[in-house]
Amino acid sequence: MYDHIVLLSIDTLRSDCIGRNPLKLWPAKYPHLSAPDTSVLDALVDEGAFFANCVSAAPYTSASHASILNGKWPLRHGVYEFFNKKLSGETLFTRAQRSGYRTILKSDFPLILGPTLGFDRGIDHFLVENDDAYLAALGQAERSVSLAHFGGVHVPYGFHNLQYGGDAYRSKLAELEKRVGTSASLPKDQLFETLRDEEDMQHLMRYKRVIQELWKADRAEDIFGLYLEGIEHFLRYRFAPFMAKLRQRLAGKRWLIVLFGDHGEEYDEQSFGHFNSVAEGVLRVPLLFIGDDVAPAIHTERVRTVDILPTILDLNGERRRQRTSIDGISLAATVRDRMPYTSRHGYAQAYVADTARFVKFQQRMLSHGKKQGHLPHLLFKETVWDGKHKFSRTVADFEQYLGGMAPIDPIHRLERFNDAHFPQPSNEASIQQKLAEMLVHYNTIRA
């Protein structure tokens, strides 16, 4: 068994933004943009078992992390909407705590990855936006299972907040406002994932307004360029120093590091960022295992984020009891011995809430100190992967800035992956029927 199992979550990181990933999607859409320097991640990929084609169970933080931590599809653990139900059932942390490990969760987004939605259950140390406190807690534990969550790749791209972004954040925002202009009005999207002081909140809203204005001006490429710049900034100034310190804490111990993303980012007619999207660039996330008994290799056949939990349990030598409720399938044989595997089927859904109503819901929650009532959501998009195909359907109408949502007659899209795992439109009627039936069945398993 390991002395330390360390999960590293880089929120909003697309898999194909890592230099070592051979499966690239974004350069075909934005050929004029420069790739970010991801050398710190490239070096980690060279050490470990990297799954370049891992698909997430949801395009937002709460549902995605819930599936990673308990190995179930969102409809089976209950956290399938954007912001409502608490995580239920066994998780990696409740299992670890019962086995005598100290458990640590450092969250950059405590409002959606924290007590409000039950992510602190089974946690001995819950820390907010404090990398040094996390490293200290890990260093003091003889045996630990921990998750360090980073929001630095999320909007505001690369900076997270003024504490970590500092003058670089202030300068970048001033530069952007020179390009798009300033305004006293707030953006439509006034949501936030962590508590901020007045200055920090003003900077976040101003940055979001810049994104809004660029989007209205049909400048998606400029927004994605900011995203790529943000990845490089975060990795250089926050993640690389963190990894150096983490290595020092783990020296002389037996450890396993699992690095992953929860969703990516995309801007086009189908996607505004991530939360309303089932695009391949949003749902294809990095997954990397590093440790003494890990065989370094890059694997390109599809896996799912629900496979992370059973893989960790197997690598740690835990008995296969009480796993009947887990949907994921262990990748331990591939991680340790490079055993081949067949491409796995997967599901993902995007639920949306009216933006203006969500803002008021969040304001009430903060004024009362806890979540008040239930925020109405609507299934917006869903997708299923099977073999070389992906079938998606849009089942509602949702306007990011105008607000409002309503069911519609479904709009279908079938794609086939070529040898480079790049999706291309397809019109194979029998395949579409089969995958549509898989989605119908998936919707019957709601907890």
Tokens of 85: 């139900």
Residue 321 pLDDT > 90, yes or no? no
Please name the residues in contact with 259: beta carbons below 8 A apart, sequence gap of 6 or more: 7, 8, 10, 41, 44, 286, 287, 288, 290
Q: Tokens 């924290």 appear where?
A: 114
Q: Give tens-digit pLDDT for 152-203.
A: 999 999 999 999 999 999 999 999 999 998 877 878 787 888 989 999 999 9
Confidence (pLDDT) at 105? 98
d(CA 150, CA 124): 19
Q: Tokens 């100034």 appear where?
A: 237
Confidence (pLDDT) at 336? 98
Residue 324 pLDDT > 90, yes or no? no
d(CA 275, CA 350): 7
Domain ranges of the chain: 4-154+224-337, 346-442
Residue 139 falls in which region: left (phi positive, over 0), alpha (psi -120 to 50) or beta: alpha
Confidence (pLDDT) at 184? 75
d(CA 10, CA 148): 9
Q: What is the mean pLDDT of residues 300-328?
A: 90
Confidence (pLDDT) at 404? 67
- CB 352, CB 116: distance < 8 Å: no
Q: What is the mean pLDDT of residues 67-81?
A: 95
Confidence (pLDDT) at 420? 94
Q: What is the mean pLDDT of residues 388-410?
A: 82
d(CA 163, CA 198): 13
Better-predicted residue by pLDDT, 351 or 270: 351
- CB 415, CB 425: distance < 8 Å: yes
Confidence (pLDDT) at 372? 81
Per-residue pLDDT band for 353 (boundaries 50, 70, 90) equals confident
Q: Tokens 């050929």 appear where?
A: 31
Q: Which one-letter DSSP state was computed for residue 116?
A: G
If DSSP codes are grouped into helix, strand and coil, which group holds residue 216? helix
Residue 97 pLDDT > 70, yes or no? yes
Residue 279 pLDDT > 90, yes or no? yes
Q: Which one-letter DSSP state was computed for residue 407?
A: E
pTM for the predicted model, two decimal places: 0.97
d(CA 299, CA 334): 9
Closest by alpha carbon to 147, among 177, 182, 123, 178?
A: 123
217 bridge partner residues:
none
Q: Tokens 């709460």 appear where?
A: 62
**CATH superfamily name and code, 4-154+224-337:** Alkaline Phosphatase, subunit A (3.40.720.10)
Closest by alpha carbon to 1, among 148, 137, 143, 147?
A: 143
What's the N-to-C CA distance of the chain in angstroms? Answer: 33
Residue 401 pLDDT > 80, yes or no? no
Per-residue pLDDT band for 88 (boundaries 50, 70, 90) equals confident
Confidence (pLDDT) at 322? 61
Confidence (pLDDT) at 403? 59
Per-residue pLDDT band for 310 (boundaries 50, 70, 90) equals very high
d(CA 201, CA 414): 41
Start-end of H helices in 235-393: 240-250, 280-283, 308-315, 332-337, 355-368
Closest by alpha carbon to 10, among 166, 242, 351?
A: 242
Better-predicted residue by pLDDT, 96 or 363: 96
Tokens of 275: 């939360």
Residue 400 pLDDT > 60, yes or no? no
- CB 213, CB 220: distance < 8 Å: no
Residue 395 pLDDT > 60, yes or no? yes
Residue 405 pLDDT > 80, yes or no? no
